[in-house]
Amino acid sequence: MTSSYQHHATLVNYMYQSKHTVILTGAGMSTESGIPDFRSRSGWWKDIDPLTVATEEALHKNYDLFHEFYSARLKGLGDIKPHKGHFIIAKWEQDGLVQSVATQNVDGLHHEAGSQNVDQLHGSIHSFRCHDCGMKGVKQQFLEKESCSNCGGHFRPNVVLFGEALPDDAWDSALFHIQKADLVIVIGTSLQVYPVSQLPRMTSGKTAFINKEIGSEQSFFDVTIEGSAGEALSVIEQLLNS
Ligand code: APR
Ligand code: ZN
Protein backbone atom coordinates (compact mmCIF):
# COMPACT_ATOMS: atom_id res chain seq x y z
CA MET A 1 0.00 0.00 0.00
CA THR A 2 1.44 3.40 -0.90
CA SER A 3 2.10 5.64 2.10
CA SER A 4 -0.54 8.11 0.83
CA TYR A 5 -3.21 5.48 1.58
CA GLN A 6 -1.90 5.04 5.13
CA HIS A 7 -4.43 7.57 6.41
CA HIS A 8 -7.24 5.83 4.52
CA ALA A 9 -6.20 2.51 6.14
CA THR A 10 -6.20 4.13 9.59
CA LEU A 11 -9.74 5.38 8.99
CA VAL A 12 -10.82 1.92 7.82
CA ASN A 13 -9.57 0.50 11.13
CA TYR A 14 -11.51 3.13 13.05
CA MET A 15 -14.62 2.19 11.02
CA TYR A 16 -14.22 -1.51 11.84
CA GLN A 17 -13.81 -0.72 15.56
CA SER A 18 -16.69 1.75 15.71
CA LYS A 19 -20.18 0.67 16.76
CA HIS A 20 -21.67 4.12 16.09
CA THR A 21 -20.31 6.15 13.16
CA VAL A 22 -21.59 9.57 12.13
CA ILE A 23 -20.76 11.38 8.90
CA LEU A 24 -20.89 15.21 8.89
CA THR A 25 -20.84 16.87 5.47
CA GLY A 26 -20.62 20.33 3.94
CA ALA A 27 -20.73 21.88 0.49
CA GLY A 28 -17.50 20.13 -0.53
CA MET A 29 -19.52 16.90 -0.57
CA SER A 30 -21.65 18.28 -3.44
CA THR A 31 -19.10 20.06 -5.68
CA GLU A 32 -18.41 16.81 -7.60
CA SER A 33 -22.12 16.79 -8.44
CA GLY A 34 -21.67 20.23 -10.02
CA ILE A 35 -22.91 22.43 -7.14
CA PRO A 36 -20.57 25.32 -6.17
CA ASP A 37 -19.47 25.46 -2.55
CA PHE A 38 -19.27 28.77 -0.70
CA ARG A 39 -15.70 29.63 0.31
CA SER A 40 -13.49 27.99 -2.31
CA ARG A 41 -12.14 30.02 -5.22
CA SER A 42 -15.23 29.13 -7.28
CA GLY A 43 -17.64 29.34 -4.34
CA TRP A 44 -20.83 31.41 -4.04
CA TRP A 45 -19.31 33.84 -1.54
CA LYS A 46 -16.44 34.79 -3.86
CA ASP A 47 -18.63 37.34 -5.70
CA ILE A 48 -21.57 37.74 -3.32
CA ASP A 49 -21.53 39.01 0.26
CA PRO A 50 -23.67 36.41 2.10
CA LEU A 51 -25.05 39.12 4.39
CA THR A 52 -26.72 40.78 1.38
CA VAL A 53 -28.66 37.66 0.35
CA ALA A 54 -28.65 34.95 3.05
CA THR A 55 -30.13 36.82 6.03
CA GLU A 56 -33.65 37.68 7.26
CA GLU A 57 -32.71 41.35 6.86
CA ALA A 58 -31.91 40.75 3.17
CA LEU A 59 -35.27 38.99 2.77
CA HIS A 60 -37.11 41.98 4.26
CA LYS A 61 -35.04 44.86 2.84
CA ASN A 62 -34.14 43.48 -0.57
CA TYR A 63 -36.51 40.65 -1.44
CA ASP A 64 -35.68 41.00 -5.15
CA LEU A 65 -31.97 40.23 -4.53
CA PHE A 66 -32.86 37.47 -2.02
CA HIS A 67 -35.27 36.00 -4.58
CA GLU A 68 -32.72 36.29 -7.42
CA PHE A 69 -30.04 34.47 -5.38
CA TYR A 70 -32.19 31.54 -4.22
CA SER A 71 -33.92 31.23 -7.60
CA ALA A 72 -30.47 30.96 -9.23
CA ARG A 73 -29.44 28.28 -6.72
CA LEU A 74 -32.70 26.39 -7.30
CA LYS A 75 -32.41 26.57 -11.10
CA GLY A 76 -28.77 25.47 -10.79
CA LEU A 77 -29.98 22.25 -9.11
CA GLY A 78 -32.05 21.34 -12.17
CA ASP A 79 -30.51 18.04 -13.26
CA ILE A 80 -27.99 17.66 -10.44
CA LYS A 81 -27.46 14.05 -9.29
CA PRO A 82 -25.64 12.44 -6.34
CA HIS A 83 -22.05 11.33 -7.16
CA LYS A 84 -20.28 8.07 -6.23
CA GLY A 85 -19.37 9.45 -2.81
CA HIS A 86 -23.04 9.96 -1.86
CA PHE A 87 -23.85 6.40 -2.97
CA ILE A 88 -20.92 4.95 -0.99
CA ILE A 89 -22.14 6.68 2.19
CA ALA A 90 -25.67 5.33 1.60
CA LYS A 91 -24.23 1.80 1.08
CA TRP A 92 -22.24 2.06 4.33
CA GLU A 93 -25.49 2.90 6.15
CA GLN A 94 -27.19 -0.13 4.59
CA ASP A 95 -24.17 -2.29 5.58
CA GLY A 96 -24.38 -1.01 9.18
CA LEU A 97 -21.03 0.83 8.94
CA VAL A 98 -22.64 4.29 9.30
CA GLN A 99 -25.51 5.11 11.67
CA SER A 100 -26.33 8.68 10.64
CA VAL A 101 -25.46 11.56 8.35
CA ALA A 102 -25.60 15.19 9.51
CA THR A 103 -25.32 17.63 6.62
CA GLN A 104 -25.07 21.40 6.18
CA ASN A 105 -26.16 20.92 2.57
CA VAL A 106 -29.69 21.83 1.52
CA ASP A 107 -29.56 20.02 -1.85
CA GLY A 108 -31.07 16.71 -0.69
CA LEU A 109 -28.39 14.61 -2.45
CA HIS A 110 -27.77 12.30 0.54
CA HIS A 111 -31.47 11.35 0.57
CA GLU A 112 -31.48 11.00 -3.21
CA ALA A 113 -28.52 8.58 -3.01
CA GLY A 114 -30.44 6.42 -0.53
CA SER A 115 -29.22 7.57 2.90
CA GLN A 116 -32.11 7.13 5.34
CA ASN A 117 -30.95 8.74 8.57
CA VAL A 118 -30.06 12.28 7.46
CA ASP A 119 -30.22 15.38 9.66
CA GLN A 120 -30.42 18.48 7.44
CA LEU A 121 -28.91 21.01 9.86
CA HIS A 122 -29.32 23.99 7.51
CA GLY A 123 -32.73 22.92 6.20
CA SER A 124 -33.75 22.20 2.62
CA ILE A 125 -33.96 24.32 -0.53
CA HIS A 126 -36.63 21.96 -1.89
CA SER A 127 -39.45 23.04 0.47
CA PHE A 128 -40.97 26.50 0.97
CA ARG A 129 -43.01 28.56 3.42
CA CYS A 130 -44.42 32.05 3.80
CA HIS A 131 -41.81 33.96 5.82
CA ASP A 132 -44.50 35.94 7.64
CA CYS A 133 -47.14 33.38 8.64
CA GLY A 134 -45.37 30.07 8.00
CA MET A 135 -47.96 28.75 5.54
CA LYS A 136 -46.51 25.97 3.39
CA GLY A 137 -45.71 26.97 -0.19
CA VAL A 138 -44.46 25.26 -3.37
CA LYS A 139 -41.50 25.98 -5.65
CA GLN A 140 -43.58 27.69 -8.37
CA GLN A 141 -45.11 30.13 -5.88
CA PHE A 142 -41.60 31.11 -4.76
CA LEU A 143 -40.10 31.26 -8.27
CA GLU A 144 -43.04 33.34 -9.52
CA LYS A 145 -42.86 35.68 -6.48
CA GLU A 146 -46.47 34.96 -5.56
CA SER A 147 -47.74 36.61 -2.38
CA CYS A 148 -49.01 34.38 0.40
CA SER A 149 -52.80 33.92 0.02
CA ASN A 150 -53.09 33.80 3.79
CA CYS A 151 -51.28 37.01 4.77
CA GLY A 152 -49.81 38.61 1.65
CA GLY A 153 -46.26 37.82 2.81
CA HIS A 154 -43.22 36.58 0.85
CA PHE A 155 -42.39 32.93 0.18
CA ARG A 156 -38.89 31.63 0.95
CA PRO A 157 -37.09 28.24 0.80
CA ASN A 158 -36.78 26.38 4.12
CA VAL A 159 -33.02 26.97 4.33
CA VAL A 160 -31.49 28.36 7.54
CA LEU A 161 -30.42 31.97 6.93
CA PHE A 162 -27.47 33.49 8.80
CA GLY A 163 -28.69 34.52 12.24
CA GLU A 164 -31.62 32.08 12.24
CA ALA A 165 -31.91 29.12 14.61
CA LEU A 166 -31.23 25.65 13.23
CA PRO A 167 -34.21 23.25 13.10
CA ASP A 168 -34.51 21.80 16.64
CA ASP A 169 -35.23 18.24 15.55
CA ALA A 170 -32.25 18.07 13.17
CA TRP A 171 -29.87 19.65 15.70
CA ASP A 172 -31.04 17.48 18.60
CA SER A 173 -30.74 14.32 16.50
CA ALA A 174 -27.29 15.23 15.17
CA LEU A 175 -26.08 16.08 18.68
CA PHE A 176 -27.43 12.77 20.03
CA HIS A 177 -25.57 10.82 17.35
CA ILE A 178 -22.35 12.86 17.71
CA GLN A 179 -22.31 12.34 21.48
CA LYS A 180 -22.96 8.61 21.06
CA ALA A 181 -20.42 8.23 18.23
CA ASP A 182 -17.23 6.17 18.42
CA LEU A 183 -16.24 7.80 15.11
CA VAL A 184 -17.18 11.09 13.37
CA ILE A 185 -16.09 11.46 9.74
CA VAL A 186 -16.23 15.11 8.57
CA ILE A 187 -16.26 15.61 4.79
CA GLY A 188 -16.10 18.73 2.59
CA THR A 189 -16.60 21.64 4.98
CA SER A 190 -14.49 24.63 6.04
CA LEU A 191 -16.03 24.33 9.55
CA GLN A 192 -16.40 28.12 9.66
CA VAL A 193 -20.10 28.35 10.49
CA TYR A 194 -21.35 28.06 14.06
CA PRO A 195 -22.82 25.92 15.63
CA VAL A 196 -22.09 23.06 13.20
CA SER A 197 -18.37 23.95 13.40
CA GLN A 198 -18.46 22.83 17.06
CA LEU A 199 -19.89 19.35 16.42
CA PRO A 200 -16.57 17.56 15.70
CA ARG A 201 -15.29 18.69 19.12
CA MET A 202 -18.41 17.41 20.89
CA THR A 203 -17.69 13.72 20.45
CA SER A 204 -15.58 11.48 22.68
CA GLY A 205 -15.03 9.23 19.66
CA LYS A 206 -12.31 9.26 17.02
CA THR A 207 -12.50 12.05 14.42
CA ALA A 208 -11.55 12.05 10.74
CA PHE A 209 -11.43 14.97 8.29
CA ILE A 210 -11.65 14.49 4.50
CA ASN A 211 -11.27 17.79 2.63
CA LYS A 212 -9.55 19.41 -0.35
CA GLU A 213 -8.00 21.95 2.02
CA ILE A 214 -6.61 20.90 5.42
CA GLY A 215 -5.66 23.82 7.68
CA SER A 216 -3.86 23.96 11.02
CA GLU A 217 -7.24 24.52 12.69
CA GLN A 218 -8.05 20.92 11.76
CA SER A 219 -4.95 19.46 13.46
CA PHE A 220 -7.14 18.15 16.33
CA PHE A 221 -8.56 15.42 14.08
CA ASP A 222 -7.25 11.90 14.72
CA VAL A 223 -6.81 11.35 10.98
CA THR A 224 -6.94 13.73 8.00
CA ILE A 225 -7.19 12.87 4.29
CA GLU A 226 -6.47 15.70 1.86
CA GLY A 227 -8.28 15.37 -1.47
CA SER A 228 -11.64 15.06 -3.14
CA ALA A 229 -14.53 13.45 -1.29
CA GLY A 230 -15.44 11.07 -4.13
CA GLU A 231 -11.87 9.86 -4.55
CA ALA A 232 -11.23 9.39 -0.81
CA LEU A 233 -14.53 7.57 -0.26
CA SER A 234 -13.81 5.26 -3.23
CA VAL A 235 -10.36 4.33 -1.85
CA ILE A 236 -11.84 3.66 1.60
CA GLU A 237 -14.61 1.55 0.05
CA GLN A 238 -11.99 -0.49 -1.85
CA LEU A 239 -9.95 -1.03 1.33
CA LEU A 240 -13.11 -2.12 3.18
CA ASN A 241 -13.68 -4.74 0.50
CA SER A 242 -10.08 -5.90 0.06
N1 APR B 1 -13.86 17.20 -1.97
C2 APR B 1 -13.42 17.55 -0.72
N3 APR B 1 -13.45 18.83 -0.24
C4 APR B 1 -13.96 19.77 -1.08
C5 APR B 1 -14.43 19.49 -2.38
C6 APR B 1 -14.36 18.14 -2.82
N7 APR B 1 -14.78 17.77 -4.04
N8 APR B 1 -14.87 20.65 -2.94
C9 APR B 1 -14.66 21.62 -2.02
N10 APR B 1 -14.12 21.10 -0.90
C11 APR B 1 -13.81 21.77 0.37
C12 APR B 1 -13.31 23.19 0.23
O13 APR B 1 -11.90 23.20 0.14
C14 APR B 1 -13.81 23.83 1.53
O15 APR B 1 -12.85 23.70 2.57
O16 APR B 1 -15.04 21.85 1.07
C17 APR B 1 -15.04 23.01 1.90
C18 APR B 1 -16.33 23.75 1.66
O19 APR B 1 -16.39 24.80 2.61
P20 APR B 1 -17.53 25.94 2.45
O21 APR B 1 -17.56 26.40 1.02
O22 APR B 1 -17.27 26.95 3.52
O23 APR B 1 -18.90 25.18 2.69
P24 APR B 1 -19.49 24.75 4.11
O25 APR B 1 -18.40 24.49 5.10
O26 APR B 1 -20.45 23.66 3.85
O27 APR B 1 -20.30 26.08 4.56
C28 APR B 1 -21.10 25.99 5.71
O29 APR B 1 -21.93 28.20 5.26
O30 APR B 1 -22.70 29.69 3.70
C31 APR B 1 -23.10 28.84 4.70
O32 APR B 1 -25.17 27.78 4.90
C33 APR B 1 -23.99 27.75 4.15
O34 APR B 1 -24.11 25.43 4.82
C35 APR B 1 -23.22 26.48 4.41
C36 APR B 1 -22.30 26.87 5.55
ZN1 ZN C 1 -48.36 34.21 4.93
Nearest ligand by distance to the CA of 134: 2
Return d(Cα 242, Cα 238) in angstroms, integer: 6
Give the pLDDT means over successive 10-residue stretches in the chain (242 positions): 80 98 98 97 94 95 96 94 98 98 98 98 98 98 98 98 97 98 98 97 98 94 97 98 91
Q: How far is the CA of 178 from the centre of ligand 1 (A)?
A: 20
Nearest protein CA to atom 30 of ligand 1, as residue: 38
Q: Determine contact, residues 201/220, Cβ cutoff 8 Å.
A: yes
Q: How far is the CA of 189 from the centre of ligand 1 (A)?
A: 4
- Write down the pLDDT at residue 2: 54
Give the residue numbers annotated as catalytic, written as ranges.
122
**Cα distances (angstroms) measured from residue 216 to each of 4, 9, 162:** 19, 22, 26
Q: How far is the CA of 204 from the centre of ligand 1 (A)?
A: 24
Domains, the chain: 1-35+82-122+166-242 (3.40.50.1220), 37-76+126-159 (3.30.1600.10)
- Write down the pLDDT at residue 1: 47
Task: Output Rg (C-alpha) for the chain, integer angstroms.
Answer: 19
From the number of C-beta atoms within 10 Å of its C-beta (0-12, 13-18, 19+), residue 112 rates as middle
Relative to beta strand 183-187, strand 206-211 is parallel
- The CB of 85 under 6 Å from ligand 1? The reply is no
- Write down the pLDDT at residue 3: 57
- Write down the pLDDT at residue 179: 98
Cis amide prior to 195 (ω within 30 degrees) = yes
User: What pTM, to 2 d.p., does this model score?
Assistant: 0.97
Residues 6+ apart with CB under 8 A from 99: 20, 21, 22, 93, 117, 177, 181
